[in-house]
Amino acid sequence: MDISLLEKTDDNFLQLLREHGCTVNRVCYMYAGCVEDYEDMRQETYVNLWRGMARFRGESDVRTWVYRVALNSCVSFFRRNRRADAHTPLSALTDVADDGCNRNELISEMHRLINRLDHVEKAMILLWLDGYPYDAIADVMAMPRNTVASRLKRIKEKLVRYSEE
């Protein structure tokens, strides 16, 4: 998406969602504890993307910006709405979160393992899995590149340990 397309119009917003909606879905899916939370987080992310379109200065890639907005929206939602009483299991999200993104058993298992990580680790590994280079992850996470590299190494080792349990 061209930076000039982030002018705040309905058509540009819909195009942004068509191109980056899968990213929003993945981030919300990983932070949701139930279907209701997923839907609320996704809606909140959409609202924040709409509000932020006019302020986007193009200092980062649009994809990076969308990821950061989704991540911040989900973390903020989670902090505000900690719920111990999840009504619908997360496994019911397969159809809801799909929206054109393929899901299979291997991805479900990977999500289960990633959900055991803390919020920062989860965000970092999701960025890495989405193909972001270390420099972009450092930008999104506001930390030095070397810190990203060492933390990702430890996160990967932790996921391997989880998978062996």
Q: Read off the pLDDT of residues 32-69 as tens digits, 9 standing for 90 and up.
A: 777 888 899 999 999 999 998 888 877 778 888 898 89
Segment 59-85 mean pLDDT: 79
pLDDT at 97 over 80: no
pLDDT at 6: 62
153 pLDDT above the threshold of 60: yes
Is-contact 45 16, C-beta < 8 A? no
3-state secondary structure labels for all residues of the chain: CCHHHHCCCHHHHHHHHHHHHHHHHHHHHHHCCCHHHHHHHHHHHHHHHHHHHHHCCCCCCHHHHHHHHHHHHHHHHHHHCCCCCCCCCHHHHHHHHHCCCCCCHHHHHHHHHHCCCCHHHHHHHHHHHCCCCHHHHHHHHCCCHHHHHHHHHHHHHHHHHHHHC
| 104-165: CATH architecture | Orthogonal Bundle (1.10)
The domain 1-102 is placed in CATH, from the list 1.10.1740.10, 1.10.600.10, 3.40.50.150, 1.20.210.10, at 1.10.1740.10
Per-domain residue ranges of the chain? 1-102, 104-165
16: amino acid identity, one letter: L
Q: Flag whether pLDDT at 150 surpasses 90.
A: yes
Mean pLDDT of the chain: 79
C-alpha 64/C-alpha 70 separation (Å) is 10
Whether pLDDT at 116 is above 50: yes
In the predicted structure, residue 151 carries a pLDDT above the cut 90: yes
pTM for this prediction: 0.64
Q: In whole angstroms, what is the distance from residue 27 CA to residue 101 CA?
A: 12
Q: Dihedral sign, CA of 65, 134, 23, 121?
A: negative
